[in-house]
Structure formats: structure tokens, C-alpha cells
């Protein structure tokens, strides 16, 4: 039976992924971790180690669903003049460094003898090739950084876990509090629908797809 782990299960898309996986695999085979529920703070490596050290066994499916658009009380920057060292460092810590540290401590929980899926939530705005509007400096940069981290981790994992699939994922615009103030004209889908799309995409991936960046339709996103 498939065992799954969702890191960031208190957020909208993380909670929806956990619910969808619970329906598929049974609650006894699903583990969720978050800062609010388990003290896993991706900006604190010690808390990541403590939270994961409590786990037992291997996980066939892992989603890393953590991220912020901007620090609390702030907004994504529209211009260079709005950049702040502290705000940019915070966004980088949560969106890029945090997932990298999670991957570091996750490796021992991935099976070597069968397929293991690791999906890290990214965003299309992290694509350098797809950026035609500018702005959102910290968020864009942090997602571009996590894409590079995922790509590098996939290369390393392929040497020790030849059945592993490690990918960056763009879930689309999801109707959650996270995106409420920034949707504009972009159509948003409910979190449960977005989770279903992501599972449909990741279920179809094979080790030959590892290290790539996919959107919710299963289309490759340019780096």
C-alpha cells in the first residue's frame, strides 16, 4: 500500500493534497507535517530534523507544499525601489532554503527498490523563460531558486535511488487565502481540484521525467 507524506499540510493546497491521498490510501498510510501542527519550521533546520526523526518507514509519495508570497504584512515587490534585504531574505528562506533542507533530511525515508515520488510546489512565475512582466522580485527569485534545487536534487537522487522521481510543480492559481489578494484576472480553482490535477500529473511520471518542472496539466514549464 502506498504511503504518503505531505509537508505543509496546514495550508490550502497541502491540506487538499493530504485529503486526496487519504481518500486514496487510507488515513493510516498518510502523514502530514506543518509548523502549526508539528513545529516543523522550514526556516529552522533543527525543527525539520526533529519532526522527520519521529517518522518511521519509507514513503512512496512526498509533497513539499510550503511557501509564502511575501512576509506577513508585506506585499510582493512591483519595482526595484520596493526591495528590502530583510523581506527578500525571509522569502528566500521559506521558499527555497526551506525545501532544500527538507530534501536533505528526507532522503533516508525514500525507498530505493521501487518508485518514489517527490513533488515540490513551485510556481510558473519562477520561470525565467516565461517572465514577460517583471516585478515580484523576491517571489520569482525564490521559485527560480527552488527549481534549481529540485533539479540538482533529482540528479543526486538518481544515483542512489534509480526509481525516484523528483520534480517541481506549478499547481495553477488556487483559490486559497494565500492567493486571495493577487488573482486579478487569473481564473482560480478550488484547492481540492488543484490537488486532483497534481496527483493526475505525478501519477503519470516515471524516473525518466525526474528533475523537470511541470504545470497542473502535465506540460513542461520552461526554466
- Whole-model pTM: value is 0.93
Is residue 223 included in any domain, yes or no? Answer: no
Burial 136-147 (b: 16+ CB within 10 A, else e): bbbbbbbbbbbb
Residue 222 lies in a domain: no
Cα angle for residues 112, 117, 119 (degrees, 5° grid): 140
Place of cell 485529503: 19
Distance (Å, whole) CA 69 – CA 210 = 26
pLDDT, tens digit (0-9, with 9 covering 90-100), for 75-132: 999 999 999 999 999 999 999 999 999 999 999 999 999 999 999 999 999 999 999 9
Q: Which residues pair with 4 in a beta bridge?
A: 30, 61
Residue 39 lies in a domain: yes
The secondary structure of residue 6, as a DSSP letter, is E
43 pLDDT exceeds 90?
yes
CATH number at residue 48: 3.40.50.720
Q: What total of structural domains would you count in the chain? A: 1
Q: Which domain holds residue 166?
A: 4-215
Residue 13: inside a domain:
yes
Is 137 domain-assigned?
Answer: yes
Amino acid at each position: 500500500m502506498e504511503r504518503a507524506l505531505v509537508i505543509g499540510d496546514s495550508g490550502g493546497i497541502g491540506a487538499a493534497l493530504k485529503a486526496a491521498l487519504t481518500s486514496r490510501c487510507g488515513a493510516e498510510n498518510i502523514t502530514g507535517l506543518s509548523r502549526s501542527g508539528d513545529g516543523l519550521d522550514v526556516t529552522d533546520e533543527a525543527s525539520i530534523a526533529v519532526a522527520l526523526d519521529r517518522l518511521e518507514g519509507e514513503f512512496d509519495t512526498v509533497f513539499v507544499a510550503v511557501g509564502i508570497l511575501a512576509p506577513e504584512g508585506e506585499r510582493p515587490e512591483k519595482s526595484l525601489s520596493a526591495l528590502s534585504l530583510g523581506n527578500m531574505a525571509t522569502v528566500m528562506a521559506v521558499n527555497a532554503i526551506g525545501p532544500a533542507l527538507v530534501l536533505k533530511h528526507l532522503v533516508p525515508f525514500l525507498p530505493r527498490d521501487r518508485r518514489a515520488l517527490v513533488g515540490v510546489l513551485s510556481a510558473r512565475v519562477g520561470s525565467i523563460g516565461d517572465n514577460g512582466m517583471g516585478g515580484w522580485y523576491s517571489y520569482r527569485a525564490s521559485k527560480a531558486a527552488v527549481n534549481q534545487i529540485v533539479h540538482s536534487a533529482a540528479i543526486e537522487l538518481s544515483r542512489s535511488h534509480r526509481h525516484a522521481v523528483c520534480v517541481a510543480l506549478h499547481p495553477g492559481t488556487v483559490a486559497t487565502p494565500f492567493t486571495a489578494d493577487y488573482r486579478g484576472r487569473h481564473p482560480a480553482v478550488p484547492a481540492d481540484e488543484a490537488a486532483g490535477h497534481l496527483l493526475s500529473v505525478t501519477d503519470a511520471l516515471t524516473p525518466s521525467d525526474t528533475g523537470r518542472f511541470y504545470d497542473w496539466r502535465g506540460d513542461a514549464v520552461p526554466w
